[in-house]
Structure 1
Amino acid sequence: MPSRQLNLLGQPSALVKSNLYFRKEKMKTIIRNPTIVTASDTFIADVLIDNETISAVGVELDVRDATIVDGEGKYLLPGGIDVHTHLDMPFGGTKTCDDFYTGHVAAAFGGTTTHIDFAIQPKGGGLKDALNIWHEKARDKAVIDYGFHVIVTELNDQVLAEIAELPAQGVTSIKMFMAYKGILQVDDDTLFKAFEMCRDVGVLPMVHAENGCAIDVLVKHELAKGHSDPIYHALSRPAKLEGEATGRAIALAEVAGSPLFIVHMTCEESLGQLRAAQDRGAKIYGESCTHYMFFTLHDLDRPDFEGAKWVCSPPFREKKDQEAIWKALRNGTLSVVSTDHCAFKFDGQKSLGRDDFSKIPNGVPGIEERMMVMHQGGVNDNRFSLNQLVALTATNPARLFGLEGRKGSIAAGYDADLVLWDFKAHATLSKENLHSAVDYTLYEGHVVKGVPQKVWVRGELVVDGETFLGQPGNGKFQPRKVFEV
């Protein structure tokens, strides 16, 4: 895969605002004869893009004055939706290195056209404060569409009332942490009260399920023994503590009568809790993230501190857990594959914990790689169908997070968020040909068959082969519908 160099049109500079290229009106575009893939169907047809939307899907569409794109012999997929990202996020005395420009460029090259980021409630502040901060982070930078979840860190009567007001602001999901004691972790009182409010106002609660209190003790034990290497990050966060927290969160949600979405599930213990709840008829949904299917905790034991690149929470698990995730994706136990893109540079950020694993910023990159490695590992390796790939990376995220009817599929009236996918093209993934601001990729040297060739966001061609055409500021905040699934 040749190195992709951004041309000037993709740079957020004063030239962007003055270049007449960006002032021309969008024209109609017909994508001729691609193999259209949705979550339920695969068929050959033309797609007509008129301004920002898909105006028609049919055979031999005849429209004058339209730009023709030859899609024959390629797939046309709905743009990917990543519902778990952390752009420009403060953590542990630093902040993630991708902002709403560099992160969006990487996402677009990977076929993702919409994402939902996490706005963190500031200490002593409210949920509106969080949203104001994150709206400002995205302003004049976004090149793909975006929405926000709000992370609740403190709960009082005022914040409970603010949860009820979130849908009017286009935000219909919140997240709470059961880990990171003393920083982000909330107690069971907070979880339960928030679940009750979410139930009443159509907001979907999300949880990071690990037992943070027990983990805090285990981390101190390891450090007291002189264990400072990255592998001890994983060893101090055992799978049983993810399973316990998952079961506890599910129990609280069931008693409250609330739906629940469990983020970044990694292991047999937590997946068993999810499956059991679903078998009882509870509205409990789960996500895993791309990296958990391709790496194990043993990657944290790489020499020369390189294992720090794999430090994230929950940590990587064992091979058996990878197979459990693939099975849960295949049989529908898990509804969504996201990235938890939380990129810290190895040099200068991850290295903050060189002598103490507990100080390594938690998080890994992956917003660009998601669609390619899931196509390779899921479809090409015969673990699930191409339709299931679309469901997991676009349709189900849209359905669960209030974007259904606009995004996540290919049909008349939907936003023209589209990816022309060359399923015959091979690429070798490398930092040298990816676009995140981070200085590494976990997938260095991985070979994939199937890559995005062209990407449209609401009818705007933002990626054309190796060239980025997106305009900073053209990505739009997406108000979302209340949870009704």
Structure 2
Amino acid sequence: MRKVIQNGVIVTAADTYEAEIIIEGGKIVAIGTNLATSSDEVIDAKGCYVFPGAIDPHTHLDMPFGGTVTKDDFESGTIAAAFGGTTTVIDFCLTQKGKPIQDAIETWHAKSKDKAVIDYSFHLMISEINEDVLAQLPVVIDNEGITSFKVFMAYKNVFQADDETLFRTLITARELGALVMVHAENGDVIDYLTKKALADGNTDPIYHALTRPPEIEGEATGRAAQLTGLANSQLYVVHVSCGDAVEKIAEARNKGFDVWGETCPQYLVLDQTYLEKPNFEGAKYVWSPPLREKHHQELLWNALRNGQLQTLGSDQCSFDFNGQKDLGRGDFTKIPNGGPTIEDRVSILFSEGVKKGRITLNQFVDITSTRISKLFGLFPHKGTIAVGADADIVIFDPNIERVISASTHHLAVDYSAFEGMKVTGEPVSVLSRGEFVVKDKQFVGKPGRGHYIKRAKYGELRGDQDQLEELSY
């Protein structure tokens, strides 16, 4: 049976209008007026916006880190994502030096198999570049549809790659049609500052932030951007947390460099003082880059509004406070880095952004869905509401008020990073390829129904549906 969505206000990155949407076979097959028949399943969206499903370009589900593993896996993590209005996630596949890349990819396929309730894809971490790795990358792109590579400039002696590896990755990505992602912090300087802090007896969570100052994020961002320009390649800077990094991205874009920037909800609404909470509560807010002083928040909002930053990821990477975060009592370097953010990403951007006049409705859709879809080879099947696109749709009530809490979230982790925060606006129902995953705020999906998505190369359309809107940066 076909489904028809009626009475809602459709919002895309470009348009806002009232119309019906007909869904059949997992696709949007018609958009218009007076389309419904008596045999259709009618979904009444009166009083709601109808958005394309959000895409989260930055998640770490079932990921090992610091001797432990993230609490939320591909089941709990994608259920929470769906409740938050996200219908596709792109997770990071971690590789190991000297081991075949395909081994790592198979490990991530095993992690997600029979668990994901929404569609998903993978990025590939690049830890080394040599002739063996270079020979494997075309196969990864062609067979797995993994068209984004991540290089860490931080976590010395764990993930950190040197500048040669980054530069050669950029050159390779240009040749193969992939997008290079960087965690931009100067790992060598962090290593020095961290050792000095511990030697001075400074072990509390706040020193995680104080040993990773914004200047070293700005420096690394600028260095990565300059190397991108030199390589004539393309770069996506993940989890931008401060004005220093925004400035370097804007400078690179003004030079014509193909550089893009992502921020995360935690940097828009939380600040460095959270790491000073007593009784080791500050450990809940330890992630990298760290939370910044409050004045950086408006710099990030301004960057989203004026296009200097283009996307919002969650950087979902949850560890229990009890039993995981507390591994770092007495030594902040042993606190597992990361926080639970996947479920509230969309609502926070709507409440703090749209409702407070910082961004427009159309910008909201572009930041949470459309731009991500275009950058990461999912467009036009995902990221928009158009005939022929996947029926990934969120029915969103803009007037619901709620208080974020671990007592009501759908994650497995034992705390909320946004505990007690009041937000306005919430997804009511969420469809993934035309099937309800969340219906009237109740979970009706099924673990394992999510599809692994092979993505197009950078700057190319996924598929050949010429009737859909053209790819445009």
TM over 0.5: yes
Normalising by structure 2, what TM-score?
0.96
Are positions 1:140 and 2:111 aligned together?
no
Match of 1:353 in 2: 328
Q: Distance in 2 between matches of 1:162 and 1:257?
A: 22
SS for the counterpart of 2:227 is: helix
Match of 1:277 in 2: 252
Q: Distance in 1 between matches of 2:220 and 2:134?
A: 23
Match of 1:290 in 2: 265
Q: Distance in 2 between matches of 1:47 and 1:72?
A: 13
Match of 1:57 in 2: 31
Alpha-carbon shift at residue 62 of structure 1 (Å): 2.9
Are the equivalent residues in 1 in contact too, given 2:429–2:441 (CA < 8 A)?
no
Alpha-carbon shift at residue 448 of structure 1 (Å): 1.2
Q: 2:67 aligns with which of 70, 89, 93?
A: 93
Q: 1:181 aligns with which of 156, 165, 189?
A: 156
Are positions 1:330 and 2:305 aligned together?
yes
Match of 2:166 in 1: 191
Are the equivalent residues in 2 in contact too, given 1:164–1:197 (CA < 8 A)?
no
Q: Distance in 2 between matches of 1:161 and 1:377?
A: 46
Deviations 1:219-244 (A, max 9, x none): 00000111110000000001111111
Deviations 1:3-28 (A, max 9, x none): xxxxxxxxxxxxxxxxxxxxxxxx31
User: One-letter code of the match for 2:437?
Assistant: V
Are positions 1:225 and 2:200 aligned together?
yes
Match of 1:17 in 2: none
Q: 2:91 aligns with which of 107, 110, 117?
A: 117
User: One-letter code of the match for 2:389?
Assistant: Y
Normalising by structure 1, what TM-score?
0.94
**Structure 1 residue runs without a partner (length 5+):** 1-26
Q: Distance in 2 between matches of 1:165 and 1:153?
A: 17
Q: Spell out the pairing of 1:84-483 with structure 2 (5 A cutoff).
A: 84-168=58-142, 169-483=144-458
Match of 1:21 in 2: none
Deviations 1:122-150 (A, max 9, x none): 24213212111101100011100000000
Are positions 1:36 and 2:4 aligned together?
no
Deviations 1:415-471 (A, max 9, x none): 000000011211111111110111111111111111100000001101012321111
Identical pairs, percent = 49
Alpha-carbon shift at residue 101 of structure 1 (Å): 0.3
SS for the counterpart of 2:111 is: helix
Q: Distance in 2 between matches of 1:269 and 1:344?
A: 28
User: One-letter code of the match for 1:140?
Assistant: D
SS for the counterpart of 2:407 is: helix
User: One-letter code of the match for 2:89?
Assistant: H
SS for the counterpart of 1:431 is: coil
**Structure 2 residue runs without a partner (length 5+):** 460-472
Alpha-carbon shift at residue 64 of structure 1 (Å): 4.2
Q: Distance in 1 between matches of 2:43 and 2:168?
A: 52
Alpha-carbon shift at residue 68 of structure 1 (Å): 0.5
Q: Distance in 2 between matches of 1:465 and 1:68?
A: 14
Q: Distance in 2 between matches of 1:163 and 1:259?
A: 17
Q: Distance in 2 between matches of 1:251 and 1:175?
A: 17
Alpha-carbon shift at residue 154 of structure 1 (Å): 2.2
Q: Distance in 1 between matches of 2:328 and 2:301?
A: 32
SS for the counterpart of 1:146 is: strand
Match of 2:57 in 1: 83
Alpha-carbon shift at residue 217 of structure 1 (Å): 0.6
Q: Distance in 1 between matches of 2:432 and 2:246?
A: 34
Q: Distance in 2 between matches of 1:439 and 1:53?
A: 37
Alpha-carbon shift at residue 361 of structure 1 (Å): 0.3
Alpha-carbon shift at residue 186 of structure 1 (Å): 0.3
Match of 2:44 in 1: 70
User: One-letter code of the match for 2:56?
Assistant: D
Are the equivalent residues in 2 in contact too, given 1:85–1:341 (CA < 8 A)?
yes
Deviations 1:152-172 (A, max 9, x none): 112221112222222212110
Are the equivalent residues in 2 in contact too, given 1:164–1:198 (CA < 8 A)?
no
SS for the counterpart of 1:433 is: coil
Deviations 1:74-129 (A, max 9, x none): 11011010000000000000010111100011000000000100000124213212
Match of 2:467 in 1: none
Q: Distance in 2 between matches of 1:101 and 1:62?
A: 35
Q: Distance in 1 between matches of 2:102 and 2:448?
A: 22
Superposition misfits of 4+ residues, deviation over 3 angstroms:
none
Q: Distance in 2 between matches of 1:146 and 1:408?
A: 13
Comparing 56-65 with 204-213, greater Cα deviation is found at 56-65
User: One-letter code of the match for 1:447?
Assistant: K
Comparing 259-268 with 462-471, greater Cα deviation is found at 462-471
Comparing 405-414 with 442-451, greater Cα deviation is found at 442-451
SS for the counterpart of 2:135 is: helix
User: One-letter code of the match for 2:67?
Assistant: G
Alpha-carbon shift at residue 380 of structure 1 (Å): 0.7
SS for the counterpart of 2:425 is: strand
Q: Distance in 2 between matches of 1:110 and 1:268?
A: 28
Q: Distance in 2 between matches of 1:331 and 1:218?
A: 34
Deviations 1:40-71 (A, max 9, x none): 11000001110211111101113342100111
User: One-letter code of the match for 1:275?
Assistant: A
Comparing 119-128 with 281-290, greater Cα deviation is found at 119-128
The alignment yields a C-alpha RMSD, in angstroms, of: 0.9
Are the equivalent residues in 1 in contact too, given 2:234–2:258 (CA < 8 A)?
yes
Q: Distance in 2 between matches of 1:266 and 1:44?
A: 37
Deviations 1:355-413 (A, max 9, x none): 10000000011100011111110011110111111000000000100011100111110
SS for the counterpart of 2:61 is: coil
Q: Distance in 2 between matches of 1:126 and 1:326?
A: 41
Q: Distance in 2 between matches of 1:54 and 1:295?
A: 38
SS for the counterpart of 1:327 is: helix
Are the equivalent residues in 1 in contact too, given 2:70–2:318 (CA < 8 A)?
yes
Are the equivalent residues in 1 in contact too, given 2:406–2:419 (CA < 8 A)?
yes
